Chain A
């Protein structure tokens, strides 16, 4: 299995630009999570999906952030417009829901907004 695949690995963009992060979960996993990691706040859960449906987006910092999961094998996290304080590492993770199991992480996207 290829694991959770995220793209791009690194993204540098200018303030005000739109940024789209992409994620392909592990085949057969029906829960998908987006986390953000910063030195100040550690690992924060932004949003999670179950069977492609957003269940809890209370961790999304503001309306500039949006996430979609159009099908079981693809999800996006979009920031528009981006701001320097959005600079962080964004992780996508997936797991099998309805059972206690580990969450598998992608390698992350390091976002830098200048």
Chain B
């Protein structure tokens, strides 16, 4: 079965600093990988996704992620963090099951942004 590990429960950065959120996955086949963001009291919104092709994918709000098969990783990055980026970030791996692609989520990383 597939699984996702986000080793950092909390990350604190200063506004304007760079950001990297870690994600490691376990899946026997080619993974479909996603990053979602959840603002307080809201549902999850897709930031970016990787299905195939270029291993560096660009997403919304200036985020990018790089798929590294050798490391089973899909880390999320942003060169300069804004205060509005403070939120919960979830990495997910999608697997086809019963005709649907089911995402399995990591536990999430809470991003705290200091002014």
- Asked if B99 contacts A56 (CB within 8 A), the reply is no
Q: Using Cβ atoms and an 8 Å threshold, which residues of chain A touch B98?
A: 48, 50, 55-56
Tell me the minimal C-beta distance from A26 to chain B in angstroms.
12
Given contacts A100-B32, A100-B94, 5 further A-B pairs with CB under 8 A are A4-B43, A42-B107, A45-B104, A98-B99, A106-B43
Q: Which of A4, A45, A56, A103 has the most CB of B within 10 A?
A: A103
What are 25 residue pairs bridging A and B, where the CB atoms are less than 8 Å apart in the complex?
A: A31-B99, A31-B101, A42-B105, A42-B106, A42-B107, A42-B108, A43-B105, A45-B104, A50-B98, A50-B99, A50-B100, A55-B98, A55-B100, A56-B97, A91-B44, A95-B100, A97-B101, A100-B51, A100-B96, A101-B101, A103-B101, A105-B36, A106-B43, A107-B43, A108-B42
- Asked if A97 contacts B100 (CB within 8 A), the reply is yes
Tell me the minimal C-beta distance from B41 to chain A in angstroms.
8
Tell me the minimal C-beta distance from A1 to chain B in angstroms.
14
Q: Mark A88-114, 1 if CB is under 8 A from B, else 0.
A: 000101010111111111111000000
Q: Which of A1-24 contact B (CB under 8 A)?
A: 4
A34 interface residue, CB < 8 Å from B? no
- Asked if A108 contacts B49 (CB within 8 A), the reply is no
Category for how many chain B residues contact A: 20 to 34
- Asked if B100 contacts A43 (CB within 8 A), the reply is no
Category for how many chain A residues contact B: 20 to 34
Q: Mark B30-68, 1 if CB is under 8 A from A, else 0.
A: 001010100001111110010100000000000000000
* Known A4-B43, A106-B43; contact A100-B101, beta-carbon cutoff 8 A: yes
CB closest chain-A residue, reference B106? A42
Q: Which of A91, A100, A107 has the most CB of B within 10 A?
A: A100
B90 interface residue, CB < 8 Å from A? yes
B102 interface residue, CB < 8 Å from A? yes
How many angstroms from the CA of A104 to the CA of B105 in the assembled complex?
Answer: 14
How many angstroms from the CA of A31 to the CA of B102 in the assembled complex?
Answer: 9
How many angstroms from the CA of A100 to the CA of B41 in the assembled complex?
Answer: 27
Q: Mark B60-82, 1 if CB is under 8 A from A, else 0.
A: 00000000000000000000000
* Known A4-B43, A105-B44, A106-B43; contact A43-B90, beta-carbon cutoff 8 A: yes
